[in-house]
Amino acid sequence: MIRISALAVIASIFALLLKKETPYIAIMITVAACCAVFALAADIIEQVISLTSELTTLSGMTPAAAAVMVKSAGIAIIAKFSSDLCRDAGQNSASSAVEFAAAVTIVYISIPLIKTMLEMISGIW
């Protein structure tokens, strides 16, 4: 965590220094830093995903519901970072488009879950 924090702070300082002269290099430093942080956190993310699959098995939850949960979280994380990067680059419209695409994608992956709910209701009646 210390390495990740240090990397993020150093990259932010460099990006701030270069922003006035060469803004495109500043944004590239920011993107590179984000990728490095994700790479460093990969082991931790793997442990968390392993824990979620154990909890899914323990709870008897349907794989479809667990998949929607995990995918929704993944889409939220990617959309958040993408839209923030676009805002940092001054491109607010691109940022909004990313957020819209993320919302639509989450609705799309929730369709099987909604169908499951409707089948449950109709099966009872």
Partner 1 sequence: MKWVKKFVFLAVVASIATALCFSANAADVEDGQAEALEIEEIEKSVPQSAKDMLGDINIQSAEDAGGALAAVRDAVVGSLKGIFGDAAKAGLSFVAVALLTGLVTSICPPDSGKYASYVEFAGAVSVAALAVDGTGALMTAGSEMIGELYAFSKALLPTLSAAAAAGGAVSSAAAQYAAAAVFMDVILTVETSLMLPLVYGYFLTSVCGAALDNSGVQSAAKMIKWTAVTLLSASVLALTVYLMVSGVVLGTADDAAVKLAKTAISTALPVIGSIAADASGAVVAGINTLKNILGVFGLIVIIAVCAVPILKLAAFSIAVKVASAFTAALGNKKLSGAIDAVSSAYALILGICGSAGIALFVSVIAVLRTVTG
Q: Which of 38, 22, 27 is nearest to 77 (CA)?
A: 38
Query: Per CB under 8 A, which region of 11-19, 30-38, 78-86, 87-95 contacts partner 1?
Result: 78-86
Counting contacts by CB under 8 A, is residue 124 touching partner 1?
yes
Counting contacts by CB under 8 A, is residue 75 touching partner 1?
yes
Q: For the CB of residue 116, give the shortest distance to partner 1 in the complex, in Å.
A: 7
**Residue from the set 4, 70, 89, 94 that interacts with partner 1 by CB under 8 A:** 70
Residue 3 or 80: the one with the smaller Cβ distance to partner 1 is: 80
Residue with tokens 């519901």: 65
Query: What CA–CA distance (Å, rounded) separates 12 from 26?
Result: 9
Q: Which of 85, 82, 113, 118 is nearest to 98 (CA)?
A: 82
